[in-house]
Amino acid sequence: MFASLPLLPPDPILGLSAAYQADPNPQKVDLGVGIYKDDAGRTPIMTAVAKAEQLRFNNEVSKVYTAPAGYPGANEAAMHLGFGAEHPAVQGQRVRTIQTPGGCGALRVAAEFVKRAKPTARIWVSTPTWANHVPLLGNAGLELKEYPYYDYANHQIDFARMCEVLATVPEGDLVLLHACCHNPSGADLSREQWDVVAAMAEKQGFVPFIDMAYQGFGVGLDEDAYGLRLLASRVPEVIVAASYSKNFGLYRERAGSLSVVFANPEQANAGYSQLLNVTRGMYSMPPAHGAAIIDLILHSQELTAEWQQELASMRVRIQSLRESLVAQLHDVQTKQRFDFIAKEKGMFSFLGLNEAQVTTLKKAFSIYMTNNSRINVAGLTPEKMAYVAKAIASVL
């Protein structure tokens, strides 16, 4: 049975990580994999997370299954974190939230749920989008379409072309939107642009599908949820897939949530039953540890304050890295302007290099990034900044 299976190439991003690990060059720099790193190049456990884990260790008395929907306290906290506790959709009992194995789990459960509700629905994704959106959504059997998003030449959102295509999206299709810190471009919609998208969704009847993987990494926890909260207040149905890998540092714990806004509480109850039936056929019950940590942190004023402070420091650090990289690139060359990097948000930006230049950076300088020159800004350190800037200048 298995003899006919061909050998597949390694995942491009995970393959980069393996190549980096095998590189003996002490000057090597990993700007590929999208994880937060501190100035020492480590991905630390957040202080609030460590304290919550100790509390859990001291008080956990059983390893019994979690409920099919996950930790009720974590689900409530996740819903309030995303929508705000006073949001009219929340107050109107129109939102249902379940725990999922990471943001990836949320996206796949959402795709299966959509397939069950409307098998002919198409999901429109931005060009570019996170590469894993395609298998996570498409492997559920849904058709994927694309809309223009990033203007590579001018390093900004091509909003006019984006709207031109979104104006053709019919009622009942879904439009995947990045809540903040667009992956892979770092170019986020402004509030005015979110307002335009909301008006289009309202008029045309397409369903916003929000991927919120970086809440708190852009401008702030509430500011980064502006588009989500606006859409949930303007249209009857919204899907939100959230990840807590970045803002809680819970990468390996696979902590995520899926929230769906329904037109009314009756539809919400029916939809919730369907969501649980979908997950029953996929993984039955979700993992416990990550959600339990979120539950503890967000129901403790002390831990919440500590977590928010640490998250803010991570956000400020990334922004300072952006500004430092721009300054150093401009110090060592005059061929190209890189101001756009400081204006973008979150961990990612495109450098605007071609594949040959990226290959040279990897082979000659041991600087690793994806072939389209997307870098993880958080992978930079003050110690390596000048080295990276001079290497980039050399290939321009």
Query: Which residues is 238 bridged to in the sheet?
Result: 261
Which pLDDT tens digit goes with each residue over 110-137?
999 999 999 999 999 999 999 999 999 9
- Quote the CA–CA distance of 242 and 255 in Å, as a whole number: 9
Paired sense of beta strands 207-212 and 238-243, if any: parallel
CB neighbour class for 138 (10 Å; exposed up to 12, middle 13-18, buried from 19)? middle
Which pLDDT tens digit goes with each residue over 258-272?
999 999 999 999 999
- Quote the CA–CA distance of 53 and 37 in Å, as a whole number: 21
Which pLDDT tens digit goes with each residue over 137-179?
999 999 999 999 999 999 999 999 999 999 999 999 999 999 9
Write phi, then psi, for 258 (nearest 5 degrees): -120, 120
Is the CATH code 3.40.640.10 the one for domain 65-299? Answer: yes
Check: CB of residue 71 under 8 Å from CB of residue 288.
yes
**pLDDT, position 12:** 76
- Quote the CA–CA distance of 283 and 92 in Å, as a whole number: 30
254: helix, strand or coil: coil
Which pLDDT tens digit goes with each residue over 273-312?
999 999 999 999 999 999 999 999 999 999 999 999 999 9
> What is the Rg, in whole angstroms, of the alpha carbon atoms belonging to the chain?
21
**pLDDT, position 75:** 94
Give the closest residue to 322 by CA, choosing from 306, 339, 309.
339
- Quote the CA–CA distance of 13 and 262 in Å, as a whole number: 36
Q: Measured between alpha carbons, how far is residue 196 from residues 110, 200, 235 in Å? A: 25, 6, 13
Is there a catalytic annotation at residue 124? no
| Domain range annotation of the chain | 12-44+303-395, 65-299
Is there a catalytic annotation at residue 211? yes
CB neighbour class for 385 (10 Å; exposed up to 12, middle 13-18, buried from 19)? middle
**pLDDT, position 8:** 85
Check: CB of residue 35 under 8 Å from CB of residue 373.
no
Paired sense of beta strands 174-178 and 122-127, if any: parallel
- Quote the CA–CA distance of 194 and 21 in Å, as a whole number: 40
Active-site residue, from 51, 246, 345, 362: 246
Paired sense of beta strands 255-261 and 95-101, if any: antiparallel
Sequence-distant (6+) residues with CB within 8 A of 201 are 175, 207, 208, 231, 234, 235
Check: CB of residue 177 under 8 Å from CB of residue 230.
no
Higher-confidence residue: 223 or 64?
223
Query: By percentage, how much of the chain surpasses pLDDT 70?
Result: 100
Active-site residue, from 30, 173, 188, 211: 211
Confidence of residue 83 (pLDDT cuts 50, 70, 90): very high
Segment of 1-15, 24-38, 213-227 carrying the highest mean pLDDT: 213-227
Average pLDDT over residues 174-193: 97
- Quote the CA–CA distance of 374 and 350 in Å, as a whole number: 4
270: helix, strand or coil: helix
Is there a catalytic annotation at residue 246? yes
**pLDDT, position 230:** 98
Give the CA angle between residues 245, 279, 276 to the nearest 5°: 110
Sequence-distant (6+) residues with CB within 8 A of 263 are 94, 236, 237
Cis amide linkage into residue 101, ω under 30° from 0? no
Average pLDDT over residues 189-205: 97
Pick the CATH number of 12-44+303-395 from 3.90.1150.10, 3.30.70.1560, 3.40.50.300, 1.20.140.10: 3.90.1150.10
Which amino acid is located at 286 in the chain?
Answer: P
